[in-house]
Amino acid sequence: MSETQHLSYDVLNSLKDIMEDDFVLLIDTFIQDSQSRLQTLQQLVGGNDRDSIRIDSIRRDAHSFKGSCSNLGALRLASFCAVLESKALNKNVDDLGVDLAEIKEEFFIVRKMMLDFIA
Amino acid sequence: MNDLRSLKILVADDTDADRLILETIVRKEGHQVFSAKNGLEAVAIFQQQHPDIVLLDALMPEMDGFDAARQIKQLAGDELVPIIFLTSLQDTQSLVHCLDAGGDDFLSKPYNRVILKAKIKSFNRMRDLHRTMITQRDQLSQHHQRLLQEQAVAKQVFDNVAHSGCLNASNVRYFLSSLAVFNGDVVVAAIRPNGNMMVLLGDFTGHGLPAAIGAMPLASTFYGMVHKGFSMSDVLREINKKLKAILPIGLFCCATMIDFNFRRKRIKVWNGGLPAGMIHHKADGSVTPMRSTHLPLGVLPEKSFKDDFQFYDVSEGDRIFMWSDGIHESRSPDGDMFGEERLLEVFAQNREPETVFEEVLAKVKHFIGSGEQDDDLSMIEIRMDSPESLVHPNHYFIHKQQVSPVEWELRFEVKPTSFKSFDPLPFLLNVLTEEPDLRGFSGSLYTILAELYSNALEHGVLGLSGNLKKTPEGFAEYYAQREKLLDDITDGFVHIYFAYSANIDAGSLTLRVEDSGAGFDFNAHQGKAISTTGYSGRGIGIVEKLCRSVRYYGSGNKVEVVFVWINDD
């Protein structure tokens, strides 16, 4: 049951009120953050062994990413992260690659919408 | 609206975007922000900046939020530094983990400005409250220290007052805890000139200094009077009078006072309001209680005060116990009171009278167990000994007095220049009542002296006739004549002579008054009934009743009376 909303403009607008001149900085920071996080996740998920430390790292990163997505109003993206986090918590490593691909795809959409918003 | 003062807030989150949002929100609320990217940085910044509130992300690299929280709480020490965990963790276990690590609250993502503001305000209130509490706790601790010091001082002062007594006599054993003293318990004991020992155990109402302060006048009155030979009634009356005067309404002193007569093996007991003391009989181990039959000291006005006693005959070796209610009211950890039954049990089970004292104390302490209270116990044991075996530093004069009588004579002359203005009676009475045995008879002695002196002066020296005093008009005439004669008199005398002889059991005081007048025909008056009605003539009748004998001699200008008494305690 995923959220259908890619990006909540309510959230973005209230963030804009708070951040004022730093709003653009915030969007940029989020995009940078997310990109490097996705890279890390790619490495972790790509690894073949069922190393429990690796699985725990996936869980933590997914959890973190979920948090910052929700802060920025990227609700659908946040829910995908939640799925990944949950699977990692249950030590379920099947098809993690698929989940990650889904997350990447959603991120591209969100990124475009954000950049349009600040343009 | 009441604006919060600007606080120092530490924000720790490893996600840059999230941290940025939080920093901005907090800054916009008017506070000063410090940022950290991980747990290590958070702890370091905390040490440097001492923020008022800490916002901590739960999951961070290097050191996560939990460890950072633990360290920060430890560094904060006594101070309350609220830690709010930033988390989108929702499962109960994780949230509990946050609290266990020292977290005080959570703030979930996405961050809500209004909620954060409310939490900051609420925690700041808590911080202020906490700070007040710590200050008051420290003040309380200081007060408590002072209180302990005061207790020690009170005990010291009390010991100094008490040292003039005989609590360290060979047949006395006592236990008085510091707390008991500070809560108004007092024990005083002294030896009377006639060899009796008087002991008073008192328990002032209340606690602390207000209770203990009554012990001072009580002790100084007691020691002052007992050493001078005043009787137990006198001492009790005086203490009651003093306490009634100085203590506020509702405060009083429950007390037991006992006079020990070692020669007669008899004790005199006055108990006002304390639990019954016990006489432990050596012969069969039985106990006789000495119950309270009076109101405590400091309650009744002088005229209503009752000083009657209970007398008990005891044997050598019997032990007499007195205590305050500390023993009876000791509580076990369950809340039970020790009570009189348990006390009687100790006596019933005892096999060696010598050890009853310790056994009572041991049983009470065992009963209290590990209870919170310090012991508030007062107890004294006096053994009925023979007078010879009594050992006490102040005791040297006792033996002598028992055997040989004390005798002295005193001569006094009133000269003409003194007749008008000098009343020798208070002066002479003062001297007489320095003699402890005579103190109880000061009223009678005054009556006798007054009658004999006025007769000697008015009928003897001035030559006035008593007949004038039979009518009211005559009275006025009499005193007018008296005034005139006193103004004019230039010669004459009144001699007064006392001879005192007394031993431990009884005594006599011989009083002779001689005047320079012509005298009268006393033989003619003999046998006639003395009129006790009318305004004059009754004086000698009373003197005759008070004295063993009344005898005139010389030309009737000399009179000798003999006043006797028996020392019956």
Residue A42 lies in a domain: yes
Rounded CA separation B236/B238 (Å): 5
Closest by Cβ to B109, choosing from A14, A29, A71: A71
Rounded CA separation B514/B522 (Å): 14
Rounded CA separation B479/B457 (Å): 13
Rounded CA separation B221/B243 (Å): 11
- The pLDDT value given to residue B160: 73
Rounded CA separation B448/B563 (Å): 9
* Average pLDDT rounded to a whole number, residues B54-79: 88
Q: Which two tokens stand for residue B268?
A: 């005199």
Q: Do the bridges between strand B8-12 and strand B32-36 make them parallel or antiparallel, or are there none, so unpaired? A: parallel
What is the domain-level CATH number for residue A70? Answer: 1.20.120.160
Per-residue pLDDT tens for B31-50?
999 999 999 999 999 999 99
Chain B CB contacts of A30 below 8 Å: 16-17
* Maximum mean pLDDT: which of B7-16, B90-99, B226-235, B459-468: B7-16
Residue A70 lies in a domain: yes
The predicted complex's ipTM stands at: 0.89
* Average pLDDT rounded to a whole number, residues B66-85: 91
Strands (E), B28-97: 32-36, 53-57, 83-87
The letter for the amino acid at B389 is: S
Q: Is the peptide bond before B110 cis (omega within 30 degrees of 0)?
A: yes
Strands (E), B273-374: 277-280, 287-290, 310-313, 319-323
Rounded CA separation B18/B24 (Å): 10
Question: Contact B83/B72 with Cβ under 8 angstroms?
Answer: yes
Q: Place B229 in a pLDDT band, splitting at 50, 70 and 90.
A: confident
Residues 40-99 of A with CB under 8 A from B: 60, 63-64, 66-68, 70-73
* Average pLDDT rounded to a whole number, residues B222-238: 90
- The pLDDT value given to residue B1: 40
* Average pLDDT rounded to a whole number, residues A61-77: 91
* Average pLDDT rounded to a whole number, residues A45-67: 81
The candidate with the shortest Cα–Cα distance to B173, out of B411, B315, B361, B421, is B361
Q: What is the mean pLDDT of chain B?
A: 86
Cα torsion B289, B293, B298, B299 to 10°: value is: 140
- The pLDDT value given to residue B531: 42
Chain B CB contacts of A66 below 8 Å: 88
Distance from CA of B333 to the nearest CA of A (A): 52
Interface residue of A3, A29, A75, A107 to substitute, partner B, most B CBs within 10 Å: A29
- The pLDDT value given to residue A25: 93
Q: What angle do CA A102, B112, B130 make, to 5 degrees?
A: 130
Residues A18, B113: C-beta atoms closer than 8 Å: yes
Question: Which CATH code of 3.40.50.970, 3.60.40.10, 3.30.499.10, 1.10.10.10 fits the domain covering B163-395?
Answer: 3.60.40.10
The more confidently predicted of residues B469 and B9 is B9
The more confidently predicted of residues B59 and B273 is B273
Q: Where in chain B is the domain with CATH 3.40.50.2300?
A: 8-132
Closest by Cβ to B24, choosing from A22, A67, A72: A22
- The pLDDT value given to residue B164: 58
- The pLDDT value given to residue B317: 92
- The DSSP string of B484-509 is HHHHH--S--EEEEEEEEE-SSEEEE
- The pLDDT value given to residue B529: 44
Please count the structural domains in chain A: 1
Rounded CA separation B25/A26 (Å): 13
Chain B residue at shortest CA distance from A69: B110
Q: Do the bridges between strand B506-515 and strand B8-12 make them parallel or antiparallel, or are there none, so unpaired? A: unpaired
Closest by Cβ to A29, choosing from B16, B28, B110: B16
Instruction: Give kind and range of the element (H or E) at residue B198.
Output: strand B197-204
pLDDT greater than 90 at residue B90: no
Per-residue pLDDT tens for B400-434?
455 578 899 999 999 998 888 889 999 999 999 88
Q: Domain B8-132 is classified in which CATH homologous superfamily? A: Response regulator (3.40.50.2300)
Residues A19, B24: C-beta atoms closer than 8 Å: yes
- The pLDDT value given to residue B569: 60
**A18–B contact, CB cutoff 8 A:** yes
Closest by Cβ to B25, choosing from A18, A72, A73: A18
Chain A residue at shortest CA distance from B26: A18
The more confidently predicted of residues B9 and A51 is B9
Distance from CA of A38 to the nearest CA of B (A): 13
The more confidently predicted of residues B4 and B310 is B310
Residues A63, B17: C-beta atoms closer than 8 Å: no
Burial class (CB in 10 A: 0-12, 13-18, 19+), B519: middle
Q: Place B243 in a pLDDT band, splitting at 50, 70 and 90.
A: very high
Interface residue of A18, A37, A41, A118 to substitute, partner B, most B CBs within 10 Å: A18
Q: What angle do CA B83, B88, B91 make, to 5 degrees?
A: 95
Q: Place B534 in a pLDDT band, splitting at 50, 70 and 90.
A: very low
Residues A67, B15: C-beta atoms closer than 8 Å: yes
- The pLDDT value given to residue B533: 37
Residues A67, B109: C-beta atoms closer than 8 Å: yes
* Average pLDDT rounded to a whole number, residues B377-391: 86
Residues A19, B21: C-beta atoms closer than 8 Å: yes
Distance from CA of A109 to the nearest CA of B (A): 19
Starting at the edge strand found earlier in the chain, the sheet holding B266-272 runs B185-191, B197-204, B253-261, B266-272, B310-313
* Average pLDDT rounded to a whole number, residues A13-17: 90
Question: Contact B63/B38 with Cβ under 8 angstroms?
Answer: yes
The letter for the amino acid at A48 is: N
The candidate with the shortest Cα–Cα distance to B552, out of B516, B497, B513, B501, is B513
- The pLDDT value given to residue B269: 97
CA atoms A26, A31, A37, A40: torsion sign? negative
Q: Place B139 in a pLDDT band, splitting at 50, 70 and 90.
A: very high
The CA–CA distances, whole Å, from B42 to B38, B45, B51, B120, B474 equal: 6, 5, 11, 18, 113
pTM above 0.90, yes or no: no
Chain B CB contacts of A63 below 8 Å: 59, 88-89
pLDDT greater than 70 at residue B537: no
The letter for the amino acid at B353 is: P
- The pLDDT value given to residue A119: 83
Chain A residue at shortest CA distance from B86: A67
Chain A residue at shortest CA distance from B59: A60
Chain A CB contacts of B14 below 8 Å: 64
Q: At what angle do helices B113-162 and B215-227 cross, to 10 degrees?
A: 0
Closest by Cβ to A67, choosing from B16, B25, B88: B88
Q: Which two tokens stand for residue B454?
A: 């006025």
- The pLDDT value given to residue B538: 55
Ranking A84-98, B112-126, B462-476 by mean pLDDT, the lowest is B462-476
Q: Place B335 in a pLDDT band, splitting at 50, 70 and 90.
A: confident
Ramachandran sector of residue B106 (left: φ over 0; alpha: ψ -120 to 50; beta: rest): beta
Rounded CA separation B374/B368 (Å): 9
Q: Which domain holds residue A91?
A: 9-118
Q: What is the mean pLDDT of chain A?
A: 87
pLDDT greater than 80 at residue B359: yes
pLDDT greater than 50 at residue B179: yes
pLDDT greater than 80 at residue B183: no
Residues A63, B88: C-beta atoms closer than 8 Å: yes
Q: Place B530 in a pLDDT band, splitting at 50, 70 and 90.
A: very low
Residue A4 lies in a domain: no
- The pLDDT value given to residue B542: 85
* Average pLDDT rounded to a whole number, residues B64-86: 90
Which residue, chain included where needed, has tokens 């102040």? B394
Residue B499: Cβ within 10 Å count: 16
Q: Place A59 in a pLDDT band, splitting at 50, 70 and 90.
A: confident
Residue B204: phi, psi to the nearest 5?
-75, 145
Starting at the edge strand found earlier in the chain, the sheet holding B406-414 runs B406-414, B494-502, B506-515, B558-566, B549-553
Which residue, chain included where needed, has tokens 């402890």? B436
* Maximum mean pLDDT: which of A93-97, B281-285, B502-506: B281-285
- The pLDDT value given to residue B222: 93
The candidate with the shortest Cα–Cα distance to A82, out of A101, A97, A69, is A69
Rounded CA separation B364/B328 (Å): 9
- The pLDDT value given to residue B65: 86
Residue A2 lies in a domain: no
CA atoms B130, B133, B139, B143: torsion sign? negative
Chain B residues interacting with chain A (CB cutoff of 8 angstroms) = 14-18, 20-21, 24-25, 28, 59, 87-89, 109-111, 113
Chain A CB contacts of B17 below 8 Å: 26, 29-30, 33, 68, 71-72
Chain A CB contacts of B59 below 8 Å: 60, 63-64
Q: Does domain B404-566 have CATH number 3.30.565.10?
A: yes
* Maximum mean pLDDT: which of B135-144, B158-167, B183-192: B135-144
Interface residue of A61, A71, A77, A111 to substitute, partner B, most B CBs within 10 Å: A71
- The pLDDT value given to residue B368: 85
Distance from CA of B149 to the nearest CA of A (A): 59
Closest by Cβ to B24, choosing from A18, A30, A66: A18
Distance from CA of A73 to the nearest CA of B (A): 8
* Average pLDDT rounded to a whole number, residues B54-64: 86
Q: Which two tokens stand for residue B518?
A: 């012509």
* Average pLDDT rounded to a whole number, residues B277-286: 92
